[in-house]
């Protein structure tokens, strides 16, 4: 099945699903559908926070990291779930036709088909895009109004983009400023949003100076002193990053255009890409891909058709080796696309809540190996399980740590570490924070040690696949988790 047919069939499957029983799904990928429960848990954690001093402490410290999402955005995304990227990703791509201005029927508009039915488009429409697409949908409109010297309308679009999802507008700031010839009006939405953000930080941090709160945010993303507690692997060892930079360099070097000033736009997006990966990280790679895609399309559509630039754009959006994780199945020696629909997480949630209800008044510590400052090693690769348990714990009004809120607080060095180095540390933390259950993965170094320790009593075990509701080809789903009760030995 070729990508255009596969894309259309998947879209039809997702579109028709919304007319049947409402699907509790954030993605067509089972892992991402579970992982994006993180956003829903934000809404229902209020009761848990009010009942637990530890969770309350973490939540208060983590308020400083929540400047990037507004209640309106969160409610829209949680209500409509996978329909948000399903509708808005194609709209964002098609809206770049505005760059053609009055030549909407120009043959160059065929480039949109190349983009729409690309592997990258499939990924952001069905698999791995979250609420951020709410912000990206306003970016082509912003660029269109700036290039037509309609700064007031551009300011409105930028404000909307910054309000619903701050990352897209923040990434495009240098491009907007350059395109507007440094017009002061373009700075206005950023000044407004900055003041609102500082106000929110001050309101949430009454006992801490605004400067310290802002510094904590900067530390969290690596901007302050270019240092954060959890470092990502070097960009030079990241094949996706190298692939992007090589193709962007080829695109800029190959461009043969009369207006050389337009080259600054993809050049700026390249610089932003490098800074995001090597200096400070403010955006996930999906957002960086969209930024570069829009910059490249802007250059292509504003100049005479260039077959070489179109080929480079095609290669950029369709990297080799299935880098975007599109579902495939093997047929003999060949692979073909596997048709999947929205993954309903209800069974996974029900299984997890049932497990938690079998425990008496649980306050649970998940025992993960110490990531030792490496972001990729957080939660031993079980990040989606963290979101699942956090969501279910919030619904059951119980506490499970560590979670992503804890990581955000601990990353700014404002909360004691729950990563365990010795069995003594584990016992101390259980007593200090009153954890009465410990969940440990069978492949964890402490799994066997706890079995022979008097402070921990083995209760039960379960396989990850029992929670998510089905077996997958991933080794993660067959991993066993053991449950221990913490016993105070007099």
Q: What is the pLDDT of residue 74?
A: 79
Report residue 392: phi and psi, to 5°: -70, -35
Q: Own/partner pairs for 378-384, CB < 8 Å, 24+ apart?
A: 378/230, 378/407, 380/441, 380/443, 380/444, 381/476, 382/441, 382/464, 382/476, 382/479, 383/35, 384/31, 384/32, 384/34, 384/35
292, 269 contact by CB (below 8 A): yes
Q: Please list, residue by residue across 451-470, b when 16 or more beta carbons sit within 10 angstroms of its beta carbon and e when fewer do.
A: eeeebbeeeeebebbbbbbe
Within 10 A of 92 (CB to CB), how many other CB atoms are there?
A: 27
The two most distant CA atoms of the chain are separated, in Å, by 82
pLDDT of amino acid 63: 44
* Nearest Cα to Cα of residue 129 among 220, 4, 35, 45: 35
Q: How many CB atoms lie within 10 A of CB 370?
A: 14
pLDDT of residue 141: 93
pLDDT tens digit sequence for 304-341: 778 888 899 999 999 886 777 787 777 766 778 888 88
Predicted pLDDT of residue 91: 94
Pull the structure tokens for residue 353: 């809540």
Question: 110, exposed or middle or buried, with CB in 10 Å at 0-12, 13-18, 19+?
Answer: exposed
pLDDT given at position 395: 84
445-454: Cβ within 8 A, 24+ apart: 445/369, 446/367, 446/420, 447/482, 449/423, 450/423, 450/426, 450/482, 450/484, 453/423, 453/427, 454/487, 454/489
The pLDDT assigned to 226 comes to: 45
Q: Looking at residue 225, what is its pLDDT?
A: 43
Ranges of the chain whose pLDDT falls below 50: 47-48, 50-67, 207, 220-226
pLDDT of 201 reads 59
* The predicted structure's pLDDT at residue 293: 93
CB 138 within 8 A of CB 161: yes
pLDDT at 317: 92
């Amino acid at each position: 099945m070729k990508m255009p047919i596969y894309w259309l069939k998947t879209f039809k499957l997702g579109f028709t699903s919304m007319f049947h029983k409402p699907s509790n799904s954030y993605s067509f990928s089972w892992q991402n559908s579970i992982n994006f429960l993180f956003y829903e848990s934000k809404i229902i954690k209020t009761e848990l926070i009010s009942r637990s001093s530890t969770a309350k402490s973490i939540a208060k410290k983590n308020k400083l990291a929540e400047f990037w999402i507004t209640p309106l955005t969160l409610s829209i995304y949680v209500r409509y779930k996978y329909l948000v990227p399903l509708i808005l990703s194609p709209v964002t791509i098609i809206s770049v036709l505005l760059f053609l201005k009055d030549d909407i029927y120009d043959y160059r508009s065929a480039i949109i088909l190349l983009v729409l039915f690309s592997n990258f488009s499939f990924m952001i429409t069905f698999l791995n895009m979250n609420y951020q697409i709410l912000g990206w949908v306003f970016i082509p409109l912003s660029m269109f109004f700036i290039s037509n010297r309609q700064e007031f309308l551009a300011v409105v679009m930028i404000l909307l983009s910054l309000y619903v999802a701050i990352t897209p507008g923040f990434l495009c700031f240098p491009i907007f400023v350059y395109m507007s010839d440094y017009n002061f009006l373009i700075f206005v939405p950023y000044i407004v949003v900055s003041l609102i953000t500082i106000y929110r930080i001050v309101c949430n941090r009454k006992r801490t100076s605004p400067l310290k709160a802002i510094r904590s945010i900067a530390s969290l993303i690596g901007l302050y002193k270019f240092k954060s507690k959890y470092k990502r692997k070097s960009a030079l060892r990241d094949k996706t990053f190298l692939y992007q930079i090589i193709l962007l360099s080829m695109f800029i070097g190959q461009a043969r255009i009369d207006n050389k000033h337009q080259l600054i736009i993809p050049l700026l997006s390249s610089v932003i890409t490098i800074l995001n990966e090597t200096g400070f990280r403010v955006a996930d790679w999906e957002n960086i891909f969209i930024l570069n895609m829009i910059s490249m399309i802007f250059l292509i559509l504003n100049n005479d058709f260039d077959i070489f630039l179109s080929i480079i754009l095609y290669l950029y959006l369709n990297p080799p080796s299935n880098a975007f994780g599109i579902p495939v199945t093997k047929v003999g020696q060949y692979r073909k696309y596997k048709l999947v629909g929205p993954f309903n997480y209800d069974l996974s949630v029900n299984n997890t809540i049932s497990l938690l209800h079998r425990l008496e008044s649980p306050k649970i510590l998940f025992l993960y190996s110490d990531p030792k400052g490496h972001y990729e090693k957080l939660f031993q690769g079980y990040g989606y399980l963290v979101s699942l348990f956090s969501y279910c714990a919030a619904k059951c009004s119980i506490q499970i740590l560590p979670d992503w809120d804890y990581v955000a607080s601990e990353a700014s060095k404002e909360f004691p570490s729950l990563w365990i180095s010795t069995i003594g540390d584990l016992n101390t933390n259980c007593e200090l924070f009153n954890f009465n259950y410990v969940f440990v993965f069978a492949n964890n170094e402490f799994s066997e040690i706890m079995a022979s320790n008097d402070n921990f009593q083995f209760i039960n075990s379960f396989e990850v696949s029992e929670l998510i509701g089905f077996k997958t080809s991933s080794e993660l789903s067959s991993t066993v988790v053991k449950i221990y009760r913490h016993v105070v030995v007099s």
